[in-house]
Structure 1
Amino acid sequence: MIKNLNSKIDEYSDKNFCRNENELKNRILFVIFAIIIFRIGSLIPIPGIDISVLSKILSKNHGNFLDMLNMFSGGAIYKASIFSLGIMPYISSSIVIQLLTFITPFFSDMKKDGENGKKQINKYTKYLTLLLAIIQSIGISVSLPNIPIFDNLVINNSFKFYVLCSLSLMTGTMFLMWMGDLITKYGIGNGVSIIIFLGIISTVPLNFLNFLEKVRLINFNWLVFIFLFLFIFFIFFFIAFIERSYYKIPIQYANRTHIRKIYISGNSYLPLKVNIVGVIPAIFASSIILLFSTVISWISNLYKNNFLLNLSVYLKPNNFFYILIYSFFIIFFCFFYTKLIFNPIDTSENLKKSSAFIKGIRPGNNTSIYINRVVSKLTFIGSLYITFICTIPDFIRYLLNYSFYFSGTSLLIVVVVVIDCINQIQNIIVSKSYVTKLNKKNKYI
């Protein structure tokens, strides 16, 4: 009987060993396959649009909302691709649903329902993504022939163009959302983050070549050029350091008594990230300012209003006024979003239910006040950190009067996605080594 049991354990371990042996390779191959599909889709144009006219128009209109969308879509907007909308509708719907989970009882109860509730929230997020994709695709297809700066962009302004353009943009977004789910399930890291990461990275080679060409034409100081790239490496290191930093609040568990015996519980800690909110405040701030400046620019060109034209110039990324407004919105959204996603009262109640307490702090209201104070300090530090990272490229533009293509938001997203992928690869390797040791141990039984 023991021999049969040992043989079954050996068989199970061998299967798991083979599965773990090929799992990392299969996941990496799937991500590579997804990258190829994403790049091919980014080159498929929307039917009925003259791409040569579009490139001429967009070359004269840098520093607007389209620049950020083009970066996240991997240059798809400047190619009038079917992936022009990118994954932004899904990000917007995810943020809206996340906000609703803290505002409305319907979604908050659903969130507390465990895995079942998570599936329901994902379903509603996809429905909202479809709705936003339909609205945005129809809005883009209708507005393209009617915006003065996009004159002669549409080859044949007919109902057929509106239908094809809307369907192409909507289908592209839904395909990217579906591919993101597959990457999450069969690849490495979060699928949506990987798609955004690919979009950002794909624009780097061309931007780098443009940067070198401008350096050559204006006889740029090569010492400053070398300093810039060393500074970028320092920024990457600094982001990685902060993103992996936690503030640990010491936690003690009450001693338990059972049949005249006292069981002494061990100590632990409550980990709080220095950057609790991640990159969302930066995306919110840049989206609001750049969208506002783009609308003002279009209206000023339409009605020839000098005041609006000057205001749109002040709101461009290479302006000091833009840096001040951008910094204010980042700090505001850091505190606003922290209040939404982190509840000190719930954390205090969970500690109380698990018979845990912070040394020197009474359980209950005093604990929630103490945690709230710590979170507020961490949020302030995190807001300064995000503001510094996101505005440093704009300071370089302002001080050197030179175009610096890699935005702070991009830096944050790239580093966070790489850290997440590295963590997942390490988990797979650790799981593989554990199964290997288990397999060797069972052979000696």
Structure 2
Amino acid sequence: MNKFVKTLKNIFSIEELRNRILFTLMLLAIFRLGSYIVLPGVDPSQLNSDSGGILGMLNTFLGGSFSRASIFALGIMPYISASIVIQLLSMAVPYFQRMQKEGESGRKRINQITRVLTIVITLFQGSGYLYSTIPTEAIVIKQSLFYPASIIIMTAGTIFCMWLGEKITEKGIGNGISMLIMIGIISSFPTALYQEVAQLDQNILFVAELIALFFIVMGVVLLNAAVRKVPVQYARQVVGAGGKKRTLATGQRSYIPLKVNAANVMPIIFAQSLMFLPSMIANIWAETSDTARWVQQNFSDFTSVAYNATFALLILIFTYFYTAITINPDQMSEDLKRNNAFVPNVKPGEETSNFISWILDRITLPSAIYLAVVAILPAFASMLGVSASFSRFYGGTSLIIMVGVILDTLQQIESYLLMQNYDSMMKSGNIKGRQNVATV
């Protein structure tokens, strides 16, 4: 406990880190406040607050704003969908590939296109949300005025959420978009925990659930922290070539830490952002088509076989996809060659790139399978009698997102602490430059 208190004191003793944390908390509070502001013209008492299936899971990610028909009802989900589309285009369309290679100017143009596409997606998703989830008896103004005004307000709300996420990333702590999703999930956890305790007749069952949840959390933490170390050898370099005596700096050994779960939480977010689309689209033709009715029923139930099979498949695909676009073996091979380094027993250049790709392919497969298994655990937990609200935290997307975001944020905080300690030791003179040399 004393160590924990000391760590908190160290965190808030660093002015920049303290300001970033307070700034992040302020923006997260604004985001939570907006989730309680209901759309104009809606009677909250007429809304169905008990959203089940996939809509209930989506409502968990949005912190309840989905079921409350708030101005942030769609949150940043349209932005995530737009990002997926742009990343897919960057893999297949030469125009977007050229923009990625243009550096900062290219990234700015891609961000602008992503924002415009977010508005387009929000208009479509907002229309589907208003017509499919808000009952007509809850609308207290003229529908001809309500629908266009609400679509505009929801679009503005999504853009504002996107702005909040970008500001948290820029001036706060952690990844802003992921932080918004995490705070929505955490906000519903106390209620889910209370409901689970209330429905159980025996305390031993609740203790067993907590023990199982503990081991699942530990497994997710291990997955996020696991790395595959690729050994790297730096060649000896001449330090003092002039004079009678030449010295060579001893070749150093190091390694490249390739994360087993390099994609982190993004495959889960990408897959989840697409999973509610089939049921919303099928709902349009559910009254006239048996196939559409089947799709609507199965993809609205997060415990169905069709839903979980599709969800797991999307996670497998997105894990490989996101790993491929974030880790470039060719670039890593070039960087090693430029720094006069090499992988032992592997020739520099193409063979090094192929070797890194070979390792990535083999560590990504178990990572993708593990992510998919953990993501569908809520369905099994629900079958074993765990309440629907609490089962969403019993593994699954909610847990993976929370663990991933929390670990990423803690790593950033730790970096600030290490930097502060390093600066303090440099100022105090406790660190002196050392060079391990060999005389030849």
TM class by shorter-chain length?
0.7 to 0.9
Is 1:43 aligned to 2:39, yes or no?
no
Q: 1:63 aligns with which of 44, 53, 73?
A: 53
Q: Does the aligned pair in 2 maintain the 1:197–1:417 contact within 8 Å? A: yes
Partner of 2:6: none
**Could you say what secondary structure the match of 2:229 adopts?**
strand
Q: Does the aligned pair in 2 maintain the 1:134–1:166 contact within 8 Å? A: yes
Partner of 2:196: 211
Q: Does the aligned pair in 2 maintain the 1:318–1:401 contact within 8 Å? A: no
Q: 1:197 aligns with which of 176, 182, 187?
A: 182
Is 1:405 aligned to 2:386, yes or no?
no
Is 1:345 aligned to 2:325, yes or no?
no
Distance of 1:104 and 1:243 partners within structure 2 = 32
Partner of 2:408: 420
Q: Does the aligned pair in 1 maintain the 2:169–2:176 contact within 8 Å? A: yes
Is 1:276 aligned to 2:262, yes or no?
yes
Superposition RMSD on alpha carbons, in Å? 3.1
**Could you say what secondary structure the match of 1:94 adopts?**
helix
Distance of 1:276 and 1:136 partners within structure 2 = 30
Q: Does the aligned pair in 2 maintain the 1:20–1:428 contact within 8 Å? A: no
Q: What's the CA shift for 1:415?
A: 0.9
Residue identity opposite 2:40 in structure 1: P
1:75-109 CA-partner distances (Å, limit 9, x unpaired):
00111100001011222222333333333344334
The answer to which structure has the higher helix fraction is 1
Distance of 2:105 and 2:182 partners within structure 1 = 29
Distance of 1:321 and 1:162 partners within structure 2 = 33
Q: What's the CA shift for 1:441?
A: 5.6
Is 1:250 aligned to 2:231, yes or no?
yes
Structure 1, unpaired ranges of 5+: 1-16
Distance of 2:427 and 2:26 partners within structure 1 = 32
Partner of 2:122: 133
Partner of 1:236: 217
Distance of 2:412 and 2:62 partners within structure 1 = 25
Q: What's the CA shift for 1:420?
A: 1.8
1:177-213 CA-partner distances (Å, limit 9, x unpaired):
2222222233221221211111111111222222233
Partner of 1:7: none
Distance of 2:101 and 2:275 partners within structure 1 = 35
1:159-183 CA-partner distances (Å, limit 9, x unpaired):
3212320221011111112222222
Residue identity opposite 2:398 in structure 1: S
1:23-70 CA-partner distances (Å, limit 9, x unpaired):
333223222322321222111100122322222xx53x5102x22331
Distance of 2:114 and 2:230 partners within structure 1 = 34
Q: 2:203 aligns with which of 200, 205, 222?
A: 222
Partner of 1:27: 20
Distance of 2:352 and 2:187 partners within structure 1 = 47
Q: Does the aligned pair in 2 maintain the 1:349–1:364 contact within 8 Å? A: yes
Q: 2:160 aligns with which of 162, 172, 175?
A: 175
Is 1:89 aligned to 2:82, yes or no?
no
Q: What's the CA shift for 1:149?
A: 8.2
Structure-2 change in CA distance of 1:170 and 1:238 (3 Å): same
Q: What's the CA shift for 1:150?
A: 3.2
Residue identity opposite 1:67 in structure 2: G
Distance of 1:422 and 1:108 partners within structure 2 = 33
Q: Does the aligned pair in 2 maintain the 1:320–1:398 contact within 8 Å? A: no
Distance of 2:188 and 2:302 partners within structure 1 = 18
* % identical aligned pairs: 35
1:195-237 CA-partner distances (Å, limit 9, x unpaired):
111111111122222223332xxx3x43222111122122222
Structure-2 change in CA distance of 1:398 and 1:162 (3 Å): same
Distance of 2:181 and 2:334 partners within structure 1 = 37
Aligned pairs, number: 411
Q: What's the CA shift for 1:429?
A: 2.5
- TM-score, normalising length: structure 1: 0.81
Structure-2 change in CA distance of 1:373 and 1:436 (3 Å): closer
Structure-2 change in CA distance of 1:194 and 1:249 (3 Å): same
Distance of 1:156 and 1:203 partners within structure 2 = 31
Q: What's the CA shift for 1:374?
A: 0.9
Distance of 1:148 and 1:119 partners within structure 2 = 36
Partner of 1:11: none
Is 1:381 aligned to 2:366, yes or no?
yes
